[in-house]
Amino acid sequence: MNSFSLNGRETPFETGETILEVAEKNGVNIPSLCRLKGVEPIGNCGVCVVEADGTHVLSCSTPVHQGMKVRTQTPAIVAARKERIKALLDSGNHNCAIGSAGSKSWSTFQQTVQRSDGSAELCPAWGDCRLQDLAYEYQVSGGRAALSTRTYPRESDAPLIIRDYSRCIRCGRCVAACNEIQVNAAIHADFLSADPELMPGKAYPVAKDNCVYCGECVQACPVGALVEKKARYHYRPWKAKKIRTTCPYCGVGCQQLLHVVDDRIVKVTGVEDGSPNMGRLCVKGRFGYDFIYSEERLKTPLIRNDDGSFREATWDEALGLVVDRFKQIIRDHGPDAMAGVSCARSINEDSYQMMKFFRAVIGTNNIDHCART
Ligand code: SF4
Ligand code: SF4
Ligand code: SF4
């Protein structure tokens, strides 16, 4: 059996597995900002550094070999991670992490924004950002120099997504999410090497013609560089309850997390490890939840009057009318005069019942499914 030493403990591994993968399987935490399940290791953030056989390597892209000796949390490794986190914080507008000048304590600004809520000065990702989490965990501050000397473009005119390059850490997750997972090829490959400071406002590295606004890049972004426009500044992450459900739009059955504040959905994300979508959602599943709150939704049955207008009715009256008309049609023209079209948003069980109802109760095979969603 293959085995190696992981923090002094003999640990089995499968040929080809990386240090990060084996560590994760064995409950050993190694931080990473750029790792994205389902794609080849990206290796851009540098935070997953570990010591292997006496040298520092990236655990996300280094395969384990027989007899290897790996240590994940030595003082030198912690120092290397701190340096990397600080460099990332200093690379852009990471205003949540500005430390007090000349001291290692957190700034008044940070302490204030931790208590406050809804300020436009706060990064919209505050409270839901992996870089921020790591800055706290490793007690690293930074970002002050970047704030005062750099300007970056921000794209706010897209209908559903705001791209703020001042907070992009070039991790590459959005590129892999768009091009490899969703295969939409909407983010140019040169995105990671372009200097956002030099990008003119209209030369964003996203091919808008290819973008289908699936939001996969937003879910993949570990910081506040890509955020949902509808959710931005409308709530703070810690206020949201996350409720798992099945997407109502089509029969695929994608697993969603509804982020709910005061009984209102404020954001939807895919369940990362949930089949069949493994975190992915389409534009409807991720962004199409406003209809729930539409004032135009029908709340009671309507019955059409002889003059074409509608009047409100009770469910008993409406269903009684439907039953009478169905019976009349079958009596006058036979069951094949009837046809049923099941709603594409129905769950499988409802569609099955609809099929049974038409075949076994009405007595016709005229049953189909609406393809449009
Ligand atoms: S992106 Fe993350 S680290 Fe940067 S300011 Fe926002 S919360 Fe802080
Ligand atoms: S929204 Fe979807 S298609 Fe558009 S850039 Fe992001 S991942 Fe690509
Ligand atoms: S936009 Fe977000 S996901 Fe894409 S490279 Fe920047 S930080 Fe990473």
DSSP line for 149-166:
H----EE--SSSEEEEGG
* Ligand located closest to 205 CA: 2
* Ligand located closest to 136 CA: 1
Atom of ligand 3 nearest to the CA of 191: 5
Q: Is the CB of 171 under 6 A from ligand 3?
A: yes
Question: What SS3 state is found at 97?
Answer: helix
Q: Where are the domains of the chain?
A: 3-73, 302-369
Would you state the pLDDT for residue 373?
Answer: 46
CB-based contact 19:52 (threshold 8 Å): yes
Would you state the pLDDT for residue 164?
Answer: 85
In this structure, the number of other CB atoms found within 10 A of the CB of residue 10 comes to 9
Atom of ligand 1 nearest to the CA of 130: 2
Would you state the pLDDT for residue 219?
Answer: 96
* Ligand located closest to 179 CA: 2
Kindly write down the DSSP assignment for every residue of 275-328, as one continuous string. Answer: TTTTT---HHHHHTTGGGG-TTS--S-EEE-TTS-EEE--HHHHHHHHHHHHHH
* CA 220 to centroid of ligand 1, rounded, Å: 15
Q: How far apart, in Å, are the Cα atoms of 371 and each of 338, 341, 343, 368? A: 19, 10, 8, 9
Query: Taking CB atoms and a 6 Å cutoff, what residues make up the pocket around ligand 1?
Result: 94-97, 123, 125-126, 129, 131-132, 167, 223-224
Atom of ligand 1 nearest to the CA of 129: 2
Atom of ligand 3 nearest to the CA of 175: 4
- Which residue do the tokens 């409802």 mark? 350
* CA 263 to centroid of ligand 3, rounded, Å: 31
Architecture of domain 3-73: Roll (3.10)
* CA 106 to centroid of ligand 1, rounded, Å: 14
* CA 248 to centroid of ligand 2, rounded, Å: 21
Would you state the pLDDT for residue 202?
Answer: 45
Which residue from 28, 20, 7 is spatially nearest to 49, judged by alpha carbons?
20
Q: Is the CB of 217 under 6 A from ligand 2?
A: yes
pLDDT tens string for the chain (373 positions)?
A: 899 999 999 999 999 999 999 999 999 999 999 999 989 999 999 999 999 999 999 999 999 999 999 999 999 999 999 999 999 998 888 878 766 655 566 666 666 665 554 555 678 888 899 999 999 899 888 766 655 566 676 778 788 999 888 888 989 999 999 999 999 988 876 777 766 666 555 455 666 678 999 999 999 999 999 999 998 888 888 889 999 999 988 878 899 999 999 999 999 999 999 999 999 999 999 999 998 999 999 999 999 999 999 999 999 999 999 999 999 999 999 999 999 998 877 778 888 999 999 999 999 999 998 765 4
Would you state the pLDDT for residue 59?
Answer: 98
Q: Which helix (H) or strand (E) holds 22?
A: helix 19-25
* Protein residue whose Cα sits closest to atom 3 of ligand 3: 221
Predicted structure pTM score: 0.84
Q: Please choose from 167, 218, 232 the residue to mutate so as to test ligand 1's pocket, defined by most ligand atoms within 8 A of CB.
A: 167
**Structure-block tokens of residue 150:** 């750099």
Amino acid identity, position 285: G
* Protein residue whose Cα sits closest to atom 3 of ligand 1: 132
